[in-house]
Amino acid sequence: MNKIDLNLMVIFDAIMQEQSVSNAAERLSMTQPSVSNALSRMRHVFKDPLFIKHGRGIKPTPFATNLWQQISPSLNTISHAVSPIQFVPHYAKRTFRIALTDGLVSLLWLELRKGIEEKAPHINIHAVPYTMNGENLLMNAEVDLIADYVPDLGRNIQRKHLCSNYFVAVMSPNNPLAQKKLDLKTLVDCDNLLVSLSGDASGIVDIKLAEQNLKRRIAMTTNSFASAMSLIQQTSLICVLPYSIASDLVKSGNLIAKSVPLDIPPAEISMAWHNRSNKDVGLAWLRDTISEIVNNKADLFKNGAWIT
């Protein structure tokens, strides 16, 4: 292969990170036709389409993904060495993509938006559905950050612990069980609602019950915490879920929360990002902002905080 113009690699890197030709052009202070022309040159050089249409956007081909994983660390090292990136929140124009469940959206989004309106009015925050596909999302640059339960994803992924999300059993105040102590037999016999992001009709409660040769009735499942809140308030269903998700409704009296009669470990919530972003000062600012939001809600993450 002939020597390639390294400027093309900078443009390629921007398209990979933005997953958009127009956004890459804005990021590089170039016109969209200029970036499109550069992309055409790259396609000719590599004899690969590099990016294909995907919904309203684009996604990289396997060749492009493999190429980017090889060149991105070097490009970042060179960029930071010769021209350290400055990030001033008030003036910065950037879009961050965060993978998380709707439960974490309810916890973070309002305070995050308030902070952005006050301190970083040109920053965009886009939520991406998260269903335990974290490694692919980060490796392929489909997101900048994950903020949810994140298992160990290997040496290429960094993690920072945010909080411990303790589980409670929630029900409507009109539920006949609302005035009674929730024991193990009652939990097994009642109509249970399970929030399952994967679609499996089994969760941590069912694993713990199986250890005692017990099985509860899963009367209904949903893949959304928001829909679960509505269902619980208006039916006789009981649901075991993280307290932080239901805390506002519990505090307002629209839901009742009880301790779960099982030894269920909390869900450890973390932020995760790819090593290539370690020196990204903009992403570091976003992580610090999210950490501050969670720290200000510390009472939601204390075991027993819901007991009155």
pLDDT computed for residue 293 by the predictor: 96
Q: Report, as an integer, the average pLDDT of 183-207.
A: 91
Q: Report, as an integer, the average pLDDT of 214-238.
A: 95
Q: Is residue 245 part of a domain?
A: yes
Is the pLDDT at 86 greater than 80, yes or no? Answer: no
Tell me the pLDDT band of 1, cut-offs 50, 70 and 90: very low
**Residues 203, 69: one domain?**
no
CATH code for the domain of 272: 3.40.190.10
Helix, strand, or coil here: 165?
A: strand
**Residues 175, 108: one domain?**
no
Q: Is residue 89 part of a domain?
A: no
Residues 6+ apart with CB under 8 A from 22: 32
Give this prediction's pTM.
0.73
CA-derived radius of gyration, the chain:
23
d(Cα 50, Cα 35) in Å, to the nearest integer? 14
Domain containing 69 equals 6-82
116 sits in which H/E element: helix 102-119
The token duo for 160 is 């920072």
**Residues 248, 271: one domain?**
no
**Residues 146, 207: one domain?**
no
Q: Number of folded domains in the chain?
A: 3
Is the pLDDT at 235 greater than 90, yes or no? Answer: yes
**Residues 157, 229: one domain?**
no
- What is the helix, strand, coil percentage profile of the chain, to 5? 45, 20, 35
Q: Is residue 1 part of a domain?
A: no
> What pLDDT digit, counting tens, does each position of 237-280 carry?
999 999 999 999 999 999 999 999 999 999 999 999 998 888 88
**Residues 124, 101: one domain?**
yes
pLDDT computed for residue 126 by the predictor: 94
The Cβ-side half-sphere exposure at 200, using a 13 Å CA radius, reads 8
Is the pLDDT at 102 greater than 60, yes or no? Answer: yes
Residue with tokens 């990016």: 51
> What is the rounded average pLDDT for all residues in the chain?
88
Lowest mean pLDDT among 36-45, 132-141, 181-190: 132-141
Q: Report, as an integer, the average pLDDT of 139-155.
A: 87
Contact 206, 215 (CB under 8 A): yes
Contact 90, 123 (CB under 8 A): no
**Residues 69, 212: one domain?**
no
